[in-house]
């Protein structure tokens, strides 16, 4: 009886180092935090691969290297040897020594990348001494559990789209009194910084703005183009700079809802309101590739440029392309993604017909989610992608356009 091969999980030190890397600054900076080991790749078993490729024993061994373990019929053995990757254990802090409040923007009801970074900064302070992170935002806390939230205070859903900073400032002040947190962190965004300054003025507290490095004993920020660094002991109120802290991955916390009385704002009916305040719709193709959150990119595998343009309009995505596409004149040069073009950090990168040259992959290092459509199962872009469709781009694009139209008119 053949013994199933023993498969060990691969630990990638480069991926672990990348998980610790802070995105800002002139020099590489690493978080001094334990990170989950990168175990998303299997260690290859050369003996199993060789046995699977063997097609003839005599007179001389012959191998077909296009065959894999599954085609050779040993997939059941491989499956028995490889245990499914376990889900991250639930981390419960039943009796926290202190609380760290994270006041989130959550624009449009979605947890933004900046919000996740604020939670990561709050975890640095909480984990240093047995504390817990309390997130405060509209919506439920389910999406915040995997970002590192231990408790969640839900603000009224009607506050999501109204620009009334007095209400959020009053809610933060009420939570300061009710929970007595050690620190309160805000995003250093237009809305978050506005609320933070109002809370600091009302409470008479010092505000340390634009934090880029944080620990239990010291907070720092850079100025003058990075040539000057200002440090201070962490104040009670701080705003967190964008892209200064790496969001947490591979964690799962409680995000237990806290039942607190709804915050009341005295004289809310007479609060000044900006009745005309709204988010302006912007042509996605007018945005710089370094600023947009959603990129639709084309490579040499795209020939139907009419469908590509129509899909970009339907998705509301900024169009981009590989070097080959821009050299051919299908897209302007400023739309080129890669080391020789623009290095992007979008939340979603939808790649059609891009094989994945090294210089192109360097340009999407900071992208959070990559979706690849390619006919080549072994393309480097497929390996880089979080979700892949192995199909012709010309067939997938019209199908997506039809699906979007059906959903909108349903």
Please tell me the pTM assigned to this model.
0.63
Q: What is the structure's pLDDT at 82?
A: 41
Q: Are residues 241 and 305 in the same domain?
A: no
90 found inside a domain: no
Q: What is the structure's pLDDT at 69?
A: 44
| 27 token code pair | 């020099």
6 found inside a domain: no
Q: What is the structure's pLDDT at 178?
A: 92
250 found inside a domain: yes
* Domain end position, chosen among 81, 110, 140: 81
Q: What is the structure's pLDDT at 72?
A: 43
What is the domain-level CATH number for residue 189? Answer: 3.40.50.620
Cross-strand pairs, 349: 295, 370
Domain extent, residue 342, equals: 284-408
- Among the listed residues 363, 375, 374, 372, the one whose alpha carbon sits nearest the alpha carbon of residue 322: 363
Q: Are residues 119 and 56 in the same domain?
A: no
Q: Are residues 247 and 381 in the same domain?
A: no
Q: What is the structure's pLDDT at 74?
A: 41
Q: What is the structure's pLDDT at 73?
A: 44
**How would you write the pLDDT of the chain (410 residues) with one tens digit per residue?**
555 555 556 667 776 776 666 655 556 666 655 555 444 455 667 787 777 777 766 667 777 666 554 444 444 444 444 444 567 889 999 999 999 999 999 887 788 889 999 999 999 999 999 999 999 998 888 889 999 999 999 988 777 666 788 888 999 999 999 999 999 999 999 989 999 999 999 999 999 999 999 999 999 998 877 778 889 899 999 999 988 898 888 889 999 998 876 565 544 555 555 554 566 778 888 999 998 999 999 999 999 999 999 999 999 999 999 999 999 999 999 999 999 999 998 989 999 999 999 999 999 998 889 999 999 989 999 999 999 999 999 999 999 999 999 888 86
367 found inside a domain: yes
Domain count, the chain: 3
- Give the C-alpha separation, 246 to 346, whole Å: 15
Cross-strand pairs, 100: 133, 183
Q: What is the structure's pLDDT at 279?
A: 64
Q: Are residues 218 and 138 in the same domain?
A: yes
- Give the C-alpha separation, 282 to 317, whole Å: 11
Q: Are residues 297 and 256 in the same domain?
A: no
- Give the C-alpha separation, 297 to 269, whole Å: 48
Upper half-sphere CA count for residue 290 (Cβ side, 13 Å): 6
Q: What is the structure's pLDDT at 205?
A: 93
């Amino acid at each position: 009886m053949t013994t199933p091969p023993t498969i060990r999980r691969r630990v990638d030190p480069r991926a672990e180092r990348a998980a610790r890397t802070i995105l800002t600054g002139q020099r590489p900076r690493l978080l001094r935090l334990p990170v989950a080991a990168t175990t998303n790749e299997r260690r290859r078993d050369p003996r199993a691969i060789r046995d699977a490729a063997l097609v003839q024993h005599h007179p001389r061994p012959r191998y077909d290297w296009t065959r894999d373990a599954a085609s050779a019929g040993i997939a059941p053995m491989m499956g028995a040897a490889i245990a499914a990757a376990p889900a991250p254990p639930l981390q419960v802090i039943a009796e926290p020594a202190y609380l760290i409040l994270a006041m989130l923007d959550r624009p449009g009801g979605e947890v933004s990348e900046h919000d996740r970074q604020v939670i990561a900064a709050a975890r640095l302070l909480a984990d240093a001494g047995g504390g817990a992170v309390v997130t405060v935002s509209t919506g439920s806390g389910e999406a915040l559990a995997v970002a590192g939230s231990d408790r969640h205070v839900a603000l009224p859903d009607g506050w999501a789209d109204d620009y009334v900073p007095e209400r959020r400032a009053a809610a933060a002040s009420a939570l300061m009194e009710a929970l007595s947190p050690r620190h309160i962190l805000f995003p250093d965004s237009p809305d978050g910084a506005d609320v933070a300054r109002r809370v600091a003025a009302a409470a008479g507290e010092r505000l340390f703005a634009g934090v880029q490095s944080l620990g239990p004993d010291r907070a720092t920020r850079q100025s003058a183009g990075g040539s000057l660094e200002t440090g201070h002991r962490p104040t009670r109120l701080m705003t967190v700079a964008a892209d200064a802290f790496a969001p947490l991955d591979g964690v799962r916390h409680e995000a237990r809802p806290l039942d607190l009385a709804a915050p009341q704002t005295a004289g809310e009916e007479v609060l000044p309101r900006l009745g005309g305040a709204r988010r302006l719709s912007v042509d996605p193709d007018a945005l710089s590739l370094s600023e947009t959150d959603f990129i639709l990119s084309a490579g040499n595998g795209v020939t139907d440029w009419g469908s590509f343009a129509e899909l970009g309009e339907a998705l509301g995505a900024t169009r981009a392309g590989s070097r080959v596409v821009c050299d051919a004149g299908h897209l302007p040069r400023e739309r080129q993604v890669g080391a020789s073009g623009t290095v992007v950090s979008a939340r979603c990168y939808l790649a059609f017909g891009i094989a994945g040259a090294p210089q192109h992959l360097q340009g999407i290092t900071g992208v959070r989610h990559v979706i690849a459509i390619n006919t080549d199962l072994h393309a480097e872009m497929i390996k880089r992608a979080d979700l892949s469709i192995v199909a012709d781009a010309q067939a997938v694009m019209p199908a997506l356009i039809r699906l979007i139209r059906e959903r909108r008119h349903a």
